[in-house]
Amino acid sequence: MPIQIGSPATLATIAQLGQMRADLSVPIRPGLGLPWSAYRYTGPHITQAGNDLGDPQSTIFGSTPADAVALELWTNGYAADDYLFFASVAGGLGSTGVLATNITANLAARRYVASGAKLLMPLAAMGGSTAAFRVGVSKTGATINGRWIASASNLRYRLSSATQVINLTGAGANQTLPSTNVNIFPETSSQAGIELCIVGTAGSAARMRIDGVAATAVTGDPLLVGQRYFFDAADMGLSWASINLFLPSGVNAYGNTYSYA
């Protein structure tokens, strides 16, 4: 049966209403082809020669725009082995200066973005410094691209004031988050969120439980190697002290803590 909509009266069938609802549900997709991230940008486009030297060299992005609250980064390559390695603090990437060795070390123990993906990294404060950030590539000659994300994007989170990162090494046993370490969790139990990158042996996984019970090789949610996971304590009803991770040998967890913006 047609349904009257508005004034003057417009008749629409149930099928047409369904199509209208579907059309309204399609997210805004600026640009052509694959959708861009739906942020408001500021400042210049970032182009940097990829750093394959490891941690000693910080990739500097120039002056941070005054209204910037985050960085969005990606590499020019999109083959299966085009990785972007990232650490939010000094000491976070391999440091031997040999590309092949750095790739092996960073795939095993450091946060990375896989082929074709973009990395979003909130700053600790609007207009904040990126001097501590470390960025690396997996191929000589790769180019890092990026954009500054403006405060008008209303990001919910900022990078915490932590001076260290979450860095858990797999040993075939259960581990808990270092939530009482104020160098990693500066707000301790009230820390807003965490992001974990599961790295190490391809095809493997960590296991996570949130009920205070130790995780095992067969109990808990699988967190896959090569994926990044974000957890908000308030939204998800989580207690950091109750999170348990089973990390097999060769599987590690690396990540950052976040505060509300």
Instruction: Determine how many CB atoms are found less than 10 A away from the CB of residue 240.
Output: 21
Same domain, 143 and 113: yes
Among the candidates 122, 155, 188, a domain finishes at: 155
State which residues form the domain around 102.
41-155
Answer whether 151's CB lies under 8 Å from 107's CB.
no
Q: Does a structural domain hold residue 226? A: yes
Same domain, 106 and 187: no
pLDDT in tens, the chain (261 residues): 444 444 444 455 555 545 444 444 444 444 455 556 678 999 999 988 887 666 655 667 888 999 999 999 998 888 988 988 888 888 888 877 788 888 888 899 888 888 878 889 999 999 999 988 888 888 888 888 999 999 999 999 999 999 999 999 999 999 999 999 999 999 999 999 999 999 999 899 999 999 999 999 999 999 999 999 999 999 999 999 999 999 999 999 999 999 999
Q: How far is CA 28 from CA 39, 41, 148, 210, in A?
A: 11, 15, 20, 35
* CATH number of the domain to which 61 belongs: 2.60.120
Q: Does a structural domain hold residue 149? A: yes
d(CA 70, CA 159): 9
Domain total in the chain: 2
Q: Does a structural domain hold residue 250? A: yes
Q: Is 188 left (phi over 0), alpha (psi -120 to 50) or beta?
A: left
Same domain, 149 and 169: no
How, if at all, do strands 193-200 and 166-168 pair? unpaired
Same domain, 124 and 216: no
How, if at all, do strands 143-150 and 41-49 pair? antiparallel
Among the candidates 131, 155, 179, a domain finishes at: 155
Instruction: List the one residue out of 190, 201, 172, 199 whose CA is nearest residue 233.
Output: 190
Same domain, 150 and 165: no
Which residue has tokens 């369904």?
18
Q: Does a structural domain hold residue 6? A: no
Among the candidates 96, 123, 155, a domain finishes at: 155
Q: Does a structural domain hold residue 116? A: yes
